[in-house]
Amino acid sequence: MSTATDRPAGLPAAQPRAQFIERYLPREHLTGGQLPKYTDLGLLIISIAVCMAVTALFGSFSLIGSVALGVVVFLVAIWVLAQNVEGTRRATNRLFRYLITGAFVLAVLPLAALMSQVIARGLARLDSGYFTQTMRNVVGPGGGAAHAIVGTLIVTGLATLFSVPVGLFTAIYLVEYGRGLPKQIITFLVDVMTGIPSIVAGLFAYALLSTLFGPSKSGLAGAIALSVLMIPYVVRSSEEIIRLVPDRLREASYALGVTRWRTIVKVVLPTAISGIVSGIILAIARIIGETAPLLVTMGFTDGMVTNPLPFSPGAENPVNPMATLPVFVYYQYSRPLRDQQPYFDRAWTGALVLVMIVMVLNLAGRVVAKRFAPKINR
């Protein structure tokens, strides 16, 4: 029960609540004023224009520098103006909103610039000959990257074949079975593998194959090097997704008398398959553009080679180099002859094809994830 002591001093008992709010919490104290709708855009344009004029006046005009300086001036001006009109709380909120928006724009601009350059320059040689011809006996214009595209698909496919079972089983062990010191050791090793330089993986694969077959360069060595880089990403992504599967699903399966391994196969993995596939696709995108380990393990050739083994029938030496798109781009861009433009065109088109392959893999991963995702309302 409220008493007279519950009311502020000087407020009659019969005074309505609305009058109390109007007296002690006036509307302008809560909302304050408000800037016109297009004040922000107009102030931004004026700030950039003034900075461009000032830099041009002093003879040091730079478009990027003027825009950057104009944005800084805009942030300061909009905060001061909003503070005087809307109050400190709204002005601070407005300032941080533009800071976050600016960070997003800074993150997107390099990607947009990169994609525009790759598309604009890569279209120069995006023709049927690029996908059907090789560089054997080609000097100057002409030729294609069919051998590099096939090599990329073979080596990436082998690396995925090696990495996915190992990474997925390791993630299942860490989540479902791992306890104590063994789990800590495996987690530590996975963390270390995540940060190793790619060239180290290439040296490891080269040393391993050289021990077995003698000094050799082959697609198998490149696949082993890429799998060393891919496994920790598969482990980490799969582990986090499997850990998100609700425990009540496992407990319901155990309550029905289902064994642990069947629970993992029939309950846990189908529930997590969407995230697992997405993680695998990201891991493939991580390794498909690697160049340094493939230079060490695979070498380069201008002709079509589809045998990834470190020896070919009838060959005396265990050397069977293969070409991949990243290495193809590197050689085309770094070793042009007198007429440089054909080499540069082939390099940019190779980069565009590599981006297209990654996009196709992402689309395929989304389709597979959607197809095998658990149906909640079934």
pLDDT at 183: 87
pLDDT at 336: 65
With 0-12 / 13-18 / 19 or more C-beta atoms within 10 angstroms meaning exposed / middle / buried, residue 153 is middle
Per-residue pLDDT of the chain (378 residues; tens, 9 = 90+): 444 445 555 545 545 655 554 555 444 444 557 888 888 888 889 988 888 888 888 877 778 888 888 888 998 988 888 888 888 888 888 889 999 988 998 889 888 888 888 898 888 888 888 898 888 888 778 888 898 999 999 999 999 999 999 999 999 999 988 888 888 999 899 988 888 888 999 999 988 888 887 777 888 989 999 999 999 999 999 999 999 888 898 889 888 888 889 999 888 988 888 888 888 988 898 889 888 899 888 888 888 888 888 776 555 555 678 889 999 998 888 876 667 888 888 889 999 999 888 888 888 877 877 776 666 554
In this prediction the pTM is 0.76
Measured distance between the N- and C-terminal CA atoms of the chain, rounded to whole angstroms: 53
Buried b (16+ CB within 10 A) or exposed e, 260-280: eeebbeebbbebbbbbbbbbb
Q: Enumerate helices (H) and strands (E) in the chain, giving the number of each.
A: 16, 0
Residue 323 CA to residue 300 CA, distance in Å, equals 5
Q: What letter would DSSP give residue 141?
A: S
CA-to-CA separations, 84 to 32, 77, 172, 331, in angstroms, rounded: 10, 11, 58, 60
Residue among 55, 59, 85, 80 nearest 67 (CA): 55
Q: What letter would DSSP give residue 8?
A: P
248 alpha carbon, distance to own chain's centre? 32
Phi, psi values for residue 31, rounded to 5°: -105, -35
Q: Which residue bears the tokens 């490149």?
A: 222
> What domains sit in the chain, N to C, each tagged with a CATH number?
32-123 (no CATH), 128-372 (1.10.3720.10)
